[in-house]
Amino acid sequence: MNTPITPRKLARPVPLTKIQRAYGRSLADFGELLPAEQKLLDCSATGEEAKIGSSVPTDAPDPNKIVRASFLRFLLLGGDEQAPVHEQGVQLIGAWVRGKLDLSNCAVPHGITLFNCKFDKLINLVDARIVGSLVLSGSHLLERLYADRLQCNSSVFLRAGFRSSREVRLTGAQISGNLDCRGGQFEAKEARALSADSAVVKGSVFLSELFKATGEVRLVNAQIDGGLECSGGQFEPKAGYALTADGIAVRGFVYLNNGFKATGEVRLLYAQIDGGLECSGGQFKPKEGDALSADGIVVKGVVHLGQGFKATGAVRLSGAQISGNLSCSGGKFEPEEGDALIADGIAVKGFVHLNEGFKATGTVRLLSAQVDGGLDCSGGWFDPKEGHALNADNAVVKGDVSLRDEFKATGTVWLFSAQLGSDLDCRGGQFALPIHPAVVLHTAIIQRVFHLGSVGAPARIDATSAQIGVLADELNAWAKGSTLDGLVYKSLGGAAPIDAATRIEWLKTQSDEYLGEDEAKQNFRPQPWKQLQKVLREMGHGADAREVGVAYEDQLRKADRIGQITDARQAKNIFPVVRRQCSRGLHWLFGFLAGYGYRPIRLFMSLVGVWLFCALVYWWLALPTYSAIGPTDPLVFQNAAYAACTEENKGNSMLCKSLPAEYTTFSPLAYSLDILLPLVDLGQEKHWGPLIPTPERHFCVELLSFSPAHWVRLLNWFEILYGWIASLLFVAIVSGISRRSETEK
């Protein structure tokens, strides 16, 4: 028996319109609309603003102000046939948006305007694309805003009372307009308040005008075609960094000024700024660490850290490249410890200004800096707690370096091996360092003038092996203990004293050790004396140069450098000691007689004096009272006329008229000169001499006899010895002058 076949009931076909849309993309999916949603639906169709409230909803939301996030998403994505959205897009004001607003990977065809709204859940715009602006101005976010890799073809507004309690993320976002956060409050509970690493902003970024962030603001590797405006912004993280913009590229200016405040470190490491960096009026007060880190930054304009700028941590600009000026005039760099300004290896095409009220309570470092303009520290106050005040070792400054006009340093100004293309001007500077050197110019090069004078107190200057074009100084500017060894200068200029007495006093401002006046007497430095002598001679002040030469020889004796015994074994041997004392004695005699060869006229005058004095004594002793001088030729003694002459003149042979006419007449002046000059024969010494009585029996008795004739003999001996000594000294002086002339050539 065949079983009857029952026809199968076919399913009712589903209309095509019911299967084209995913859930949440159809108005029917939301059932009965809330009052605020209905108003939003109506306004979106006409392009009007849906004003639900006049301000941000309170914590206890009014049911009439609630808009479901899913319904808002439905309209933002364009609605459907029953809920068309006008070209003006969705504009919602004063609503409470409940739930998670997820637009990740979505293309929003219109701009988004959600003004004065409150969001209790996450807003997700990761990889979203918005045709228009994103406006969240005045809105409050209780949860995060994620907009990584957001593409917005206009501006993003998080301003005018915008508030977020959690992190706002715009990492990798591409914004064709501005990122405007003016007046926004980013009160993050976590470490980061705003993250926009690698973001690309075609316009400007505004974090200004009462902007406030209680977490870190990150703009690492961001690209901004306009400027970065943070004037008046408050960056107050609970810990860590305040603003991190390492590697940022900004084509305009970066403003961290006029009320800007950061209580954490601001980082601009290796940033590229085509405009300028303006921080005047900014307050950088980190809880710990550095205040501003901008190592390797490249700024094609100017960098202002001036009037009103204050940093309580170190400011770092090591390796920075600045095409304009670095101006810190009036800036306050007051770290609690350590360095105040670190600009090692900085390259500045313009000028560096640390003047007019500038103050640093830590070391200012410019090691190996390159400054094409000048370094102006006039009126600056460098007050380190310890260490150097200004450290510019190996710096190259093509313009002037000015430490004048009430410049004040309580630490050493260190210019070791610095190269200055123009002047170093310290006139009016105050260097309050009684123990350590105030200015160190060790191996420095100053192409033009070193001005030093009119200082508040004398300063110890270490100019070891420095090279200076012109030294224009005042004696009272150099304190005792200054170092001049190796200092080379071409001339003395300005109001610098040139007279030998003052310059010798200047040389004596060196330490007792370098003057050879200490107990060891091992470190005497002759170079400063020789350099001064050379410069005075080249300037045409020969007399002063000679006076310096005399003072140098005197100092050599004070330093115990004459006949010095270098071997300890020789010091125990009597002969080297005697030789040394003889050398010192002869050196003193050389100085006394001829001023060490620098005063040959003194030797000549001494010869004249000895000549005239001895001639007077000879004349006196040849008178009848003494008759101590007589003819020495035997032919005269055998001449009867001579005997008669002596009787006639009571033994006075000088006035005898009966002597042979061919016999040389006695002349006291010629006689004295004939004895005094060793290689000159005037005929007097051969024919006249002392009339010595018969010698006594014993040598000692003869030696101690002092008759008039004995006095004549003693004078003869003295004149002969003195003549030879003077002649040898003249030869030494002439040869020394010749050698100096050859050296000068």
DSSP characters over 100-121: -EE-TT-EESS-EEEET-EESS
Per-residue pLDDT reduced to its tens digit, 9-64:
434 444 444 446 677 788 888 888 899 889 989 898 888 888 988 889 887 778 88
Q: What distance in Å separates the CA atoms of residue 39 and residue 500, rounded to the nearest whole number? A: 100
Q: What distance in Å separates the CA atoms of residue 575 and residue 596, rounded to the nearest whole number? A: 25
Res. 650 pLDDT band, cuts 50 70 90: very low
Q: 527-538 vs 542-558: helix axis angle to the nearest 10? A: 170
Give the other-Cβ count within 10 Å of 89's Cβ: 22
Is residue 405 scored above 70 in pLDDT?
A: yes
Res. 609 pLDDT band, cuts 50 70 90: confident
User: Could you give the percent of the chain with pLDDT greater than 90?
Assistant: 52
Determine how β-strand 347-348 pairs with β-strand 352-353: unpaired
Per-residue pLDDT reduced to its tens digit, 58-96:
877 788 889 999 999 999 988 888 888 888 889 999 999
Is residue 298 scored above 90 in pLDDT?
A: yes
Q: What is the mean pLDDT of the segment spanning 252-271?
A: 95
Helix (H) or strand (E) holding 38: helix 35-46
The DSSP symbol for 478 reads B
Which token pair is 358? 């500038």
Per-residue pLDDT reduced to its tens digit, 91-135:
999 999 999 999 999 999 999 999 999 999 999 999 999 999 999
Q: What is the mean pLDDT of the chain?
A: 85
Per-residue pLDDT reduced to its tens digit, 481-496:
999 999 999 999 988 9
Q: What distance in Å separates the CA atoms of residue 654 and residue 652, rounded to the nearest whole number? A: 6
For residues 555 and 549, is the Cβ–Cβ distance under 8 A? Answer: no
Q: What is the mean pLDDT of the segment spanning 281-291?
A: 93
Q: What distance in Å separates the CA atoms of residue 324 and residue 303, rounded to the nearest whole number? A: 7
